[in-house]
Structure 1
């Protein structure tokens, strides 16, 4: 679905949500409390700022007795088909974030990847896939990577375990291009990249890929990913605890927001 069509779907969802909420005599806070999100989240859904998760759409249907209207709308119009379902919502939030901090224990995060690196990762994960499928996945990955080139890009900070830089993904030539790209991104001040060396030993995030996202007018979220699964955490207490025990609580200069035009 094109960006314009997707935005129109969000706006339609929000308009219908507001209309049906008001018909039920509920405020945003009332509705949010009853479907286990904040009133601010409901406001962001209604303004098409943020896309609701499927389970929230289902709870709204149950509460407003809409006969599954919002679930069907989510599935047909709003669901992001370009990404795996477990990552789709995180991908949307990525575009809204003002700050992104990622910790990678073994594989480079998607945003700073080159096409050669991404292709090697997809081939390793899908050894029998057709070339057309692999190239489509690489194209989508490169579309995501454009976020770091955007004038309104988020403050981006990546903490890479030394393993990420030592494994020659795609072979020596592809890995050399990837390392050159990381250096260029840092040199152009589009990102801060730090390396956690082997010598540090045990640390709180061993083996756990993590992305912390912060927003202008919404609570921060944490996204973690496993094998064909992802977990998006937005409970304020959980996010606060996660930040406190992880390396992404980091240097103060990385916590300042980049001014937006």
Structure 2
């Protein structure tokens, strides 16, 4: 179990207040974290993470907690406050989990994963995804994505293993100059950061189980692994053990079909040079 830290200020932010209120209601009901977890079909560790403000509260669990603890809609209202995020709502839980992960494995079929994107590339993708949004809104999305990339500069960054399909190297997102800069950056990250491993899945590999999706697998020091799958305008956090294992097996198959890290970096460098040459053609 993870108890509420004694120095946690319940008024520091909505998530901390949610955790403090959950703990207050649980103790008033005379329940341990494990006992409460069993009654709402989650683990005691999960309850402890909510109380410690280490996890964003979940709407369904908050509803079950209110019903069990007789707290009306108190936790559900606090949940809505605590779940505010600068990233898309469907990605918010996964973005938070990335901050706690000891290792992250990503597969992307058409774009460079967010943690390794340059600002110009991220802006081109964001503008394409939100063609009718104002420049201010686009700037906000790009700024948030760049802030996420700072995870790799933390004192204890996760091991990041990335598989990108060769298609992601060929599509001139933002034009040849922008994609050339992005691929140069990708090559630099893979060749200078010892905790970043990059592989390319070549066209010659043919079909694979993850071909039409984007996947992130996250492993933690103190919790079971989780996965996140994403399509154009939606995503899903997966915590069911059997399904996470299934996704992990599919990832392993893609990794086995991908080029070695060394060959991948060579292909990335070659693709970057090709785009740079095209950018200077009249």
Q: Give the TM-score normalised by the residue count of structure 2.
A: 0.82
Alignment of 1:42-53 (within 5 A): 42-53=47-58
Query: Is the counterpart of residue 87 in structure 1 residue 88 in structure 2?
Result: no
Q: Secondary structure at the match of 2:54?
A: coil
Query: CA offsets, 1:166-202, max 9 Å, x none?
Result: 1111101101110111111112224111000011111
Instruction: Tell me which residue corresponds to 1:113.
Output: 117
Select 1:38's aligned residue among 43, 56, 62. Answer: 43
Residue 248 of structure 1: CA displacement?
Answer: 7.4
Structure 1 pair 249/12, CA: closer, same or farther in 2 (3 Å)?
farther
1:50, 1:124 → 2: CA distance? 32
> Cα gap change, 1:51/1:237 in structure 2, threshold over 3 Å: closer, same or farther?
same
Q: Which residue of 2 aligns with 1:125?
A: 129
Q: In structure 2, what is the equivalent of residue 257 of structure 1?
A: none
CA distance in 2 between counterparts of 1:221 and 1:97 reads 10
Check if 1:171 corresponds to 2:175: yes
| CA deviation map 1:43-82 (0-9, x unaligned) | 1111222222222222211221211111111212x11331
| Residues 3-152 of structure 1 mapped to structure 2, 5 A cutoff | 8-76=13-81, 78-152=82-156
Counterpart-to-counterpart distance in 1, 2:242 and 2:129: 35
Aligned equivalent of 1:184: 188
* Alpha-carbon spacing, 1:18–1:153, altered in 2? closer, same or farther (3 Å): same
Q: Is the 8 A contact 2:15 2:57 kept in 1?
A: no
Compare CA radii of gyration and give the structure with the larger one. 2
Number of paired residues? 248
Asked if the contact 1:100–1:211 (Cα under 8 Å) also holds between the matched residues in 2, the reply is yes
CA distance in 1, matches of 2:245, 2:231: 21
Gaps of 5+ in 2: 1-8, 262-282
Q: What residue ranges of structure 1 are gaps of 5+ in the alignment? A: 255-261
Query: What do the CA deviations read for 1:124-146 (whole angstroms, capped 9, x no partner)?
Result: 11222211111111111101111
Query: Is the 2:105–2:162 contact (alpha carbons within 8 Å) kept by the matching residues of 1?
Result: yes
Cα distance, 1:250–1:162 mapped onto 2, change above 3 Å:
closer
- Please state whether the residue corresponding to 1:231 is helix, strand or coil: strand
Q: Give distance in 2, aligned partners of 1:27 and 1:85.
A: 31
Shift of 1:9: 2.9
1:211 maps to 2:199? no
Q: How many angstroms apart in 1 are the aligned matches of 2:125 and 2:41? A: 37
TM-score (norm 1): 0.89
